[in-house]
Amino acid sequence: MKIKKVEEKENIVFKNNIVKITKENDDQLCFEIVNYITYDISEAVSLLIKYDLSDKIWDIDIKININDIVPEKTLYWLSGGEKEWTTKEHYIKDWSDCYLDFQEQFGFIIMNILRKSRKLRDIKQGFNKNLNLPIIYDFAISRNLVK
């Protein structure tokens, strides 16, 4: 007797060689970005910003559950991410020693951007305008977090 393999059908919203976005049962989006998986839309956009992606991905409609958002994850990637925080080429302290400073300064900005956003593009534009690297780096300089 053969056993038929039953696979759960994925509801793929977007897929390319960098990212796969699927919609879960409760309309929650799951982002698989290179080696990372996240349900945090804010973190996903902060990871995706550095890639040259088609406009199609940024036009995806979103529903955000603010309770699923962890601002320090977003700030980790916007402030330099894994490369910057592991090598500490520019930062003096470890991420674990200063993430609360970043969250205190920028956490409300992230939440306000998300509350106003209806598409991934809205989040991206909000981050590029209000949380770009010069803004974050100026803050880090003011707190003596960089060399």
Q: Which two tokens stand for residue 145?
A: 């977090």
Pick from 135, 71, 68: nearest CA to 99: 71
Q: What would the DSSP string read from start to end of 62-97? A: ----GGG--HHHHHHHHTTHHHHHHH-SSBSS-HHH
Side-chain half-sphere of 38: how many Cα atoms within 13 Å? Answer: 20
At position 46, the amino acid (one-letter code) is: S
Question: What is the full per-residue pLDDT of the chain (147 aa) written as tens digits?
Answer: 445 444 456 799 999 999 999 998 778 999 999 999 999 999 999 999 999 888 899 999 999 988 889 999 999 999 999 999 999 999 999 999 999 999 999 999 999 999 999 999 999 999 999 999 999 999 999 999 998
pLDDT of residue 27: 82
Please tell me the distance from the alpha carbon of residue 24 to that of residue 32, in angstroms, as a whole number. Answer: 13
* Beta-carbon contacts of residue 91 (< 8 Å; ≥ 6 apart): 80, 84, 85, 98, 140, 145, 146, 147
Please tell me the distance from the alpha carbon of residue 135 to that of residue 62, in angstroms, as a whole number. Answer: 26
Query: How many other C-beta atoms are found inside a 10 Å radius of the C-beta of residue 68?
Result: 14
